[in-house]
Amino acid sequence: MTTTKRGIDLIQDSALNKATGYTAQERETLGLTGLVPDVTETLDLQLQRVLMQLSHKEKPIDQYVYLTNLLDHNETLFYKTIMSDPARFLPIVYDPTIGEACLKFGHIFRQPRGLYLSIEHRGRVKEILRNWPVKDIRFICVTDGGRILGLGDLGANGMGIPIGKLQLYTAAAGVPPKYLLPMYLDAGTNNEPYLADPLYLGLRRKRPPTENLYSFVDEFVDAVQEVFPKCCIHFEDWTGVDAVHLLQRYRDRYCVYNDDVQGTAGITLAGMINAAKIKCTQLKDETYLFLGAGSAGIGLANLLCSALVEQGLTLAQAQAKVHMFDVNGLLESTRTDLVDFQQPYAHPHAPTQSFVEAIRSIRPSTIIGVSTIGGAFDQAVVTAMAEINTRPIILALSNPTEHAECTAEQAYQWSDGRAIYAAGVQFPEVTWQGKTFQPGQANNFYIFPAVGMAIFATQASRVTDDMFIEAAKAVADQVPADLLAQGSLYPQQGNILETEIRTAARVAKLVFDTGLARVPRPDDYEAFIREQVYTPSYASLL
């Protein structure tokens, strides 16, 4: 690698900066002598300093701010740090710490990262996209901040999410960071405290009518096709209705996907596959009851039904196995308040607003929490599941931690140790009556970075649900028998890069098999993926 930058300009470029890692020749040739210490430190030695400095910061949010500052100054060292111990650092740069970071985003802000696209710039979107210095962008992760995690409308504070999501593309699956662009589509916010906060970073106006928002998103999506023709658009943390409808609007024409709809569905499906393995059943043998019928729940239900069809059921038979419960009670055929994408799961049933009553009448073998209501799976819920199932499957997927429907300890205790459990956040191991359980984390970062790497490597023209089903199967297949015996439904996070490389290889094969690839088919899919993987290291700049 060579560069025309010199001196301070080079030091201020986080993608090129080596800090104390420049060679003596680089310091002399590139005008750095005197501007950096007169040493040449290895990346490993620099990592030791980072770890030492982090050890003095006790709160995760302080560690998040430190690592964000490191990324702003030295991208290579940042990824060296994150990828050195994913199990330790992914919860800091993303969930659960990212929730607190978003709530405080305007207050902990240091410098901009990514693009901020305001609805007031309607008609100029192509011009603004071209302000980005990198011209070959392969992924844009974009949010309007409408529903951040389980925290609601955070407006511009939601920019922390696309920044964090794209860091996971690199840290978990090796997608080169130079091809990634986080974006906030600013259409205002209905969050009154933020509108009154002098440090809030977004438009100080209420959100527009849906048709106005969608026409602006149309302009954005169309502009991306011209400015970044190889780009895949990753929609993230839009409101539930918008998430589903925008995905439907673009998915058959452009390379787009929604992680809340498809990624959440994929990782949950992986957990269901392994839960069925533990029970020696198949997915089609189970009955499912969701608490929450928004974009995550519907996306999960739709992907699950596709997987059930693969196992021989008709779509109608698959949908009949899936029941949903929202803030107004069980989705059933007399409800008149349902939106179009909820209708397939509104089955004939007596109306009820009691989740426990729904469990007793439907008799599900699996309950899935995507409600964002902390503690919603209380003792009565778990006990009811344990009464009708020898091995009840309890998936408490809401995050951050305080929004989990129940903790791992509660699930195991209230089910007499019989629950098969996973959460959307990582809970510590639980020992109950002498047996140790390893609760798994149904975190999307097992899925979307691997799918992203497959898309990047194959230059896929579109993204399909089948890619997420294949990713779910690949992740499930990588959990060894000893972990399954301890109740863990997911691979260990410490080896996440290898897990995702293997997952990406399987998804890439599917992309080629379905004719969606825009590069020649390789002989060895895993070797093909490994050739694309980013490794944090310093290259010579001369």
7-93 adopts what CATH topology?
Hemocyanin, N-terminal domain (1.20.1370)
CATH number (1.10.1060.10, 3.20.20.70, 3.40.50.720, 3.30.420.40) of 262-445 reads 3.40.50.720
The Cα–Cα gap between 174 and 53 comes to: 26
Torsion of CA 388, 332, 297, 326, to 10 degrees: -90
Where does the pLDDT of residue 2 fall: very low under 50, low under 70, confident under 90, or very high at 90 and above? confident
Across 364-369, average pLDDT: 97
Confidence of residue 314 (pLDDT cuts 50, 70, 90): very high
Tell me the mean pLDDT in the region 287-305: 92
Residue 330 CA to residue 367 CA, distance in Å, equals 13
- pLDDT tens digit string along 415-439? 999 999 999 988 999 999 999 999 9
Report pLDDT for 38: 95
State the amino acid at position 530 in one-letter form.
Answer: R
pLDDT tens column, 371-417: 989 999 999 999 999 999 999 999 999 987 888 999 999 999 999 99
Do residues 441 and 423 make contact, with C-beta atoms less than 8 angstroms apart?
yes
- Residue ranges covered by each domain of the chain: 7-93, 262-445
pLDDT of 449-491, one tens digit each?
999 999 999 999 999 999 999 999 999 999 999 999 999 999 9
Query: CA 132, CA 141: separation in Å to the nearest integer?
Result: 14
Task: Supply the pLDDT for residue 386.
Answer: 97
411-435 as b/e: b if 16+ CB within 10 A: bbbbbebebbbbbbbbbeebeeeee
Cβ pair 319, 305 in contact under 8 A: yes
Rounded Cα–Cα distance for residues 172 and 61 (Å): 21
Q: Which of 167-171, 402-406, 510-514 has the lowest mean pLDDT?
A: 402-406
Q: Write the pLDDT tens digit of every residue in 235-257.
A: 999 988 899 899 999 999 999 99
User: If you average pLDDT over residues 174-200, what whole number do you get?
Assistant: 97
Catalytic positions are 94, 165
pLDDT at 3: 87
In the chain, what percentage of residues exceed pLDDT 70? 100
| pLDDT > 90? residue 71 | yes
Cα–Cα distance between 129 and 227 in angstroms, integer?
Answer: 7
Residue 175: its pLDDT value, please? 98
Instruction: Please report which confidence band the pLDDT of residue 222 belongs to, taking 50, 70 and 90 as the band edges.
Output: very high
